[in-house]
A and B are shown apart, each in its own frame.
Chain A
């Protein structure tokens, strides 16, 4: 009998009954937090490789088809793109500030900042939807009634496309126009793949933050324990960083005034 009592008194895994948030297989809160954050960083490492493949495809084609990529990039709305980048940066600030609010145990401020994050995320997605709708109206959705006619007939593009030189050779002119049609379609394929995959990450992020906001509202986060909020924040900032690169790569390929 005394043996059994001995086993019961020194269990291998100690439940931390005074701290329900601390799982029994962690020695202390800091170890648990480090393990969770490390897991998210490993995941973000795989995400870097995931987006890296698409960025690589983009960079190769951009080098090969520069005139077509530059002209297609100019057809994107620069002002809308810049403002949307600013919206996403604001959402990153509100995430960082909400973690700070959790560190000080300010629950109401935390919930307000998280709601602001979701709001900015949804504004970004709404603006994205508006931009994609414009692409639809401009016949710039690949394979779907795609047409590069507006790029070909734009006066500023004719020189960089080398169309002026071909004016007296209708056969070659037609061949070049078909090539511009094909190559600009590759730009828009990459545009939709990259912004679409980024938008899917944003939708997932808004979903995660809806749950996190609910948890914050229920008072689940304390100055000692707010790991879910922290690692969700890491994900959100990463998605922000992806856009920080997408914005100059897609919108700013060549915005210089056309030469004489």
Chain B
């Protein structure tokens, strides 16, 4: 943040971008294929784990969360996800312990 230093912006290598793209594409077809196999209650779990993995690498690499020097970016992201989990987990524990209306 010094006045005189040149702006230091991280440049991600093109190879890494292509690798992330390849992982995302493979994971997309993988999740569609796994859904057709009977894993019992784990079908949903596997689908959400793959989705979260995909979302994480998009945020970390494509959105530069991993490389940012800005100190508040990660707290904002973690804060937003915390509120989201509060909404989802508390609502689901409430509604799933009641009679379906």
Contact call B14/A41, Cβ cutoff below 8 A: no
- Knowing A64-B100, A92-B58, the reply to whether A56 touches B9 (Cβ < 8 A) is no
Summed over the interface, the residue pairs from A and B with CB atoms below 8 Å come to a total of 154
- List which A24-75 residues lie within 8 A (CB) of chain B: 27-31, 33-34, 37-38, 41-42, 44-45, 48-49, 52-53, 55-56, 59-60, 63-65
- List which B1-17 residues lie within 8 A (CB) of chain A: 1, 3, 5, 7-9, 11-12, 14, 17
Contact call B79/A252, Cβ cutoff below 8 A: no
Residue of A whose beta carbon sits closest to that of B43: A256
- Knowing A89-B21, A244-B55, the reply to whether A64 touches B48 (Cβ < 8 A) is no
Q: How far is the CA of A93 from the CA of B15 in the complex (A)?
A: 11
Q: How far is the CA of A37 from the CA of B24 in the complex (A)?
A: 25
Query: What's the least CB distance linking B41 to chain A, in Å?
Result: 11
CB 8 Å contact bits of A201-230 with B (1 = contact, 0 = none): 000000000000000000000001000000
- Knowing A97-B14, A256-B37, the reply to whether A30 touches B8 (Cβ < 8 A) is yes
Say yes or no: is A174 at the interface (Cβ < 8 Å to chain B): no
Contact call A78/B7, Cβ cutoff below 8 A: no
B54 contacts which chain A residues (CB < 8 A)? 244
Q: How far is the CA of A88 from the CA of B77 in the complex (A)?
A: 22
Determine which of A33, A86, A241 lies in contact with B55 in the assembled complex, contact meaning CB atoms within 8 Å: A241
Query: What's the least CB distance linking A251 to chain B, in Å?
Result: 8
CB 8 Å contact bits of B28-59 with A (1 = contact, 0 = none): 11011001111000011001101100110011
Residue of B whose beta carbon sits closest to that of A51: B84
B70 contacts which chain A residues (CB < 8 A)? 34, 37-38
Contact call A56/B18, Cβ cutoff below 8 A: no
A90 contacts which chain B residues (CB < 8 A)? 21
B63 contacts which chain A residues (CB < 8 A)? 233-234, 237-238
Contact call B91/A237, Cβ cutoff below 8 A: no
B51 contacts which chain A residues (CB < 8 A)? 244-245, 247-248
Determine which of B8, B47, B62 lies in contact with A96 in the assembled complex, contact meaning CB atoms within 8 Å: B62
Say yes or no: is B66 at the interface (Cβ < 8 Å to chain A): no
Say yes or no: is A198 at the interface (Cβ < 8 Å to chain B): no
A8 contacts which chain B residues (CB < 8 A)? none
A240 contacts which chain B residues (CB < 8 A)? 58
A31 contacts which chain B residues (CB < 8 A)? 1
Determine which of A45, A97, A103 lies in contact with B76 in the assembled complex, contact meaning CB atoms within 8 Å: A45
Q: How far is the CA of A78 from the CA of B18 in the complex (A)?
A: 25
Determine which of B43, B77, B96, B100 lies in contact with A41 in the assembled complex, contact meaning CB atoms within 8 Å: B77
14 A-B interface contacts by CB (under 8 A): A33-B9, A38-B76, A41-B73, A48-B81, A52-B84, A78-B32, A81-B32, A92-B24, A96-B12, A224-B7, A237-B58, A240-B58, A241-B58, A247-B51
With A93-B21, A233-B63 given, can you name 11 additional A-B contacts, CB distance below 8 Å?
A28-B1, A30-B69, A34-B69, A59-B91, A85-B28, A93-B18, A100-B14, A248-B48, A249-B47, A253-B44, A255-B32
